[in-house]
A and B are shown apart, each in its own frame.
Chain A
Amino acid sequence: MIRRLGVFAVSFWLSGAALFAFQAGTPNPSDTTGFEPVTSLPPGQQIPAAPYLLWAYGLIWIGVFFYAWSIWKRLGKVEQEMRALEKRRK
């Protein structure tokens, strides 16, 4: 217990040292040259948004249903085995 408190005390002290060092500076934001804002490009060069949106939502929906279905299937198998065992016992 005392040892654990000692460990926590040391870690607090070290974290304080870390925070103190952190105060010393924050990172400089670098420039973003090379990036062109998407809306300033002519429409011919822009990528259509709708397919991506639909794919994103679609993948999530499919993923959820697939996962739920896989659990359901495994659960069904386990319960089937349990029923078989119970029947054998009787």
Chain B
Amino acid sequence: MKKAFLPIAIVAAAMFAYAPIAIDNAPYQSTMLLIQKIFYFHVPSWVALTCALTVCGVASAIYLFKGSPEADRYAVAGAELTALFGLFGLASGMLWARKAWGIWWEWDARLTMAFMLELIFVGYLLVRKFGGPGAEKLAAGMGIFGAATAPFIYKSVDWWRTIHPKTSVVRTLDSPDNSPPMFHVLVFCMVAFVLLFLVLLSLRVRLEQQRAALDRLYLEEED
């Protein structure tokens, strides 16, 4: 992980620098025109959120059942990043909705459950902060449950009529002219976001590792 950090960070930065150009060159979607281009950061935010969610859920399970402190560090980093990328997704989604549908918010299934997922992981961070001694275990329980609820959230868009575009729209993205099809630009942004997620994850885990090292130093000093 450490050796790969710098190359990944550089590639991620480069991809993000190029992203506006790629997005600008992508074809207009027929009904929504310019505003639809939020899609290229909106969907990858949710992809990164899913990655963070998986990391948090798996790490929480490992921490709860095996007691490994390294797993706990990954769990808290994953939870913070879930909350962060969820915030990005919700903010970009609301701005898109305001232009495309004329409303800031609507309590349809997917939006509601995305908001709830955000609340769950903010709850994780609250439990972590205010849970007293042994809060890591409680937070790990929350992380597992939060990750388990996520599939119910994802599937809900297929099971309830909604004004949110259905998931199948991703596969029908092709362009009539020669500009890079929407799908390529989308994948590019997704990769960029996943790399960004990896960079932020390793930074956050490093912070926790240094904190643990500091605690160890303090303990040694006391002896």
Chain A interface residues toward B at CB < 8 A: 27, 29-30, 32, 35, 37-39, 47, 49-50, 52-53, 55-57, 59-60, 63-64, 67-68, 71-72, 74-75, 78-79, 81-82, 85-86, 88-89
**Stretch from B57-65, B138-146, B204-212 forming part of the interface with A:** B204-212
CA distance A81 to B207 in the complex (A): 13
B159 touches A63 (CB 8 A): no
Do the beta carbons of A59 and B92 come within 8 Å of each other?
A: yes
Identify which of B87, B98, B213, B221 contacts A63 (C-beta below 8 A). Answer: B87
Please list the residues of chain B having a beta carbon within 8 angstroms of any beta carbon in chain A: 20, 31-35, 37-38, 41-42, 45, 84, 87-88, 91-92, 95-96, 98-102, 159-161, 163, 196, 200, 203-204, 206-207, 210-211, 213-214, 217-218, 221
> Is the beta-carbon distance between A53 and B37 smaller than 8 angstroms?
yes
A56 B95 Cβ-Cβ under 8 A: yes
Q: How far is the CA of A37 from the CA of B92 in the complex (A)?
A: 21
Q: Which chain A residues lie closer than 8 Å to B221 at the CB level?
A: 85, 88-89
Most chain B beta-carbon neighbours within 10 Å: one of A55, A56, A64, A67: A56
> Would A78 and B211 be within 8 Å (CB), given that A47-B102, A85-B221 are in contact?
yes
Contact of A60 among B32, B33, B92 (CB under 8 A): B92
Instruction: Give how many A-B residue pairs fall within 8 Å (CB-CB).
Output: 92
Residue of B nearest to A22 (CB): B159
CA separation between A27 and B160, bound complex, in Å? 7
Q: Is the interface of B mostly helix, strand, loop or mixed?
A: helix
Structural contact, B35 and A37, CB atoms closer than 8 A: no
In the complex, are the beta carbons of A75 and B206 less than 8 A apart? yes
A85 pairs with B95, CB closer than 8 A: no
Closest A residue to B213 using CB positions: A82
B37 cross-chain contacts in A, Cβ below 8 A: 53
A85 lies within 8 A of B88 (CB): no
20 A-B residue pairings within 8 Å (CB atoms):
A27-B159, A27-B161, A35-B101, A37-B31, A49-B33, A49-B34, A52-B38, A53-B34, A53-B35, A53-B37, A53-B38, A56-B91, A57-B92, A63-B88, A74-B207, A75-B203, A79-B210, A82-B210, A82-B213, A82-B217
